[in-house]
Structure 1
Amino acid sequence: MLEVYGHGGDLETAAVKYGRKLDEFTDFSSNINPLGPPPGLIEGLMAELGSIVRYPDPGHRGFKTKLADRLNLDEDWLSIGNGAAETMALLLLAIQPKTVGIVVPCFSEYAALAAQFGASIESVTGSADHQFHADPLEMEQLIRRSDLVFLGQPNNPNGVQYCIQLVRRFADVAEREGTYLVVDEAFIDFIEPEARATLLPEIGKYPRLILVRSMTKFYAIPGLRLGYGVAHPELIRKISGKQVTWSVNQLALTAGELAITSGKEYEQATMSLIAKERQYLLGELNKLGCRTWPGEANFLLVRLPFGWTAGRMQDALGQRGILVRSCAMYPGLEAGDIRVAVKSRQDNEQLLHHLGGVLQGEA
């Protein structure tokens, strides 16, 4: 198993296991924009390397100002974090929930963070035949018996959104029950703006709602770690009060400023590429006898043909220099489930070629 630390993208573990250099893998196990960072971002970072002799701004003011303008919010509605995961951790530290609710399958960090902070975990399971969505009535019950609930939107590892009517319904129930609702929108930027089912425009109605977003996936800067939360200022103050000073480094903040001012062409090119290549991958994977779910993000959940386990396929592809994410350990999924990122046509064809070869027994 490559997920030694519970996540994809672990090239170091793969390099040791398969005897290859880091740059000899095509990594479908992490979901990063295949276009790479926006034009000019790396050059901009190079020009700012001299800033590492100074402490980063503990108030994240330059990036926060630009982000607030981009989202049409006041700055006190924003919390900047060392990746989206830090925002989630700070929220748990600030709220100290006794019970955390999750909908499985989901991002493993929800349960891991809950356990780290001593909370018990309640869960409901989404059905494969219903896009792994939770039954709305079961979701409402989960909210009632939890202090805080995580909801992936779109969900990882299947990439499907709940409709806005359901998200609004869940947020309304959370407000009535005094439960915090954490909507993880780490991959929502890959969806066309008019199709995003987000409560961002209505955030002022929900004091117990927090939206968590990532800058690292869409803008292809996972090595720098940058994310943010959007919530009522009172909740933002609680989160910020638990944050370690200088947890977000200066290069990450600079990258954030450069990213959100990079222009619409890069963003539109990304969304168009992902939509086109996701549909291509869906069709070709189905031809190979795999079951797929029509997600909306930059990855696909794939169920391998009968008799194949995720571990066996991961190992066979790893030896060929292709990395995929095993989902066999996700509660609510099966032993033959993997997740693959949506990448460029050339990379996607490489994945399909090697996956097909493994399934057909080629050496």
Structure 2
Amino acid sequence: MTKIEKIVLSYSGGLDTSIILKWLQETYGCEVVTFTADLGQGEELEPARTKAEMSGVKDIRIVDLREEFVRDFVFPMLRANALYEGQYLLGSSIARPLIAKHLVGIAREVGADAVTHGATGKGNDQVRFELAVNALDPSLKVIAPWRQWNIRSRMQLLEYAEKHHIPVPSDKRGEAPFSIDANLLHTSTEGKILENPAEVAPDHVYQRTVDPLDAPDTPEIITIGFERGDPVSVNGKAMTPAALLTELNGLGGRHGIGRLDLVENRFIGMKSRGIYETPGRTILLAAHRGIESITLDHAAAHLKDEIMPRYAELIYNGFWFAPEREMLQALIDQSQAFVSGDVTLRLYKGSASVISRTSPCSLYSADLVTFEESAIAYDHHDAEGFIRLNGLRLRNWAARNGR
């Protein structure tokens, strides 16, 4: 085994990473630095500090990354209208490169030889973490306990915890809980009954949104302001990125917006079923498409839609720091130069519907599109030549086929 002097661990303070912390200390006999990222998961993070101290950790990092997360990762993805497989808003996928970025940064700061994550050997997150580390600092070793140790079952995990006097919450001792990932962008839930895609998800799975059937019977009207493709205000009030997403999460959750029951194709080759709740970004996606509809040239808009699936797939598969993602981002960001203005939406029982949009950079011309007499010169006869030229190849094709 390669000699390791110091390790930085991505640490939540939960059962798995608490066991990983002890296993690292026992296996490598070196100093472990813990890093806990505050991504707006809604949990009290100070208990993670207490647990790390109890395990003898001297260097404990708890870093508030909420603003950076939304500004530098969520918003660039929003500019692309990114959806994986046409549905998934990439709530877990986009958080991993940010965590990896800070893991690497702390490792450089403290002179660590390795970084460690708690992702299992079946999921996408192991790929995302490690590809990011490869791109940011190839000299770092990545330790993946779930691929190295002999623990193969939940029972063995609990036995290891008891043997090493690691506190196990009472709710972790019985039936395996749902696997939950949460941050300011979304909540995802997997496991248990959800592993059977034929089973209807129970109501208690949902944490951020009310059932649309139980949402208010009165619609709520909101207006979101955009500047260069990024949302900057809600109902005329300027907000920081994290505060804006938090506000929209509350509005969307109250109206049952952003629920998704999805069977997706994992990068490593298996299908998985999860329940996602992404209320704020569901609203933002509708609003962003609304402002783009009047500010983007139609060919530019269509090109964006063509590259979006590739862009989303890169994020899902862990290639945020890859050159091709950065190339696509440059193209997308260039398209947003005039995507500014206000979009008004109606929130009602699970839906966020655009009902008006205005922009000082609008390409929409009422004079051109009107059915009434127009002040702008437009010769209807021009359409005849346009149609004949576009129909030329079709007429030639039909003649060949004997039509």
Under a length normalisation based on structure 1, what TM-score does the superposition of the two structures give?
0.30
Higher relative contact order (CA 8 A, sep 6+): 1
Q: Which has the larger radius of gyration?
A: 2
Under a length normalisation based on structure 2, what TM-score does the superposition of the two structures give?
0.28
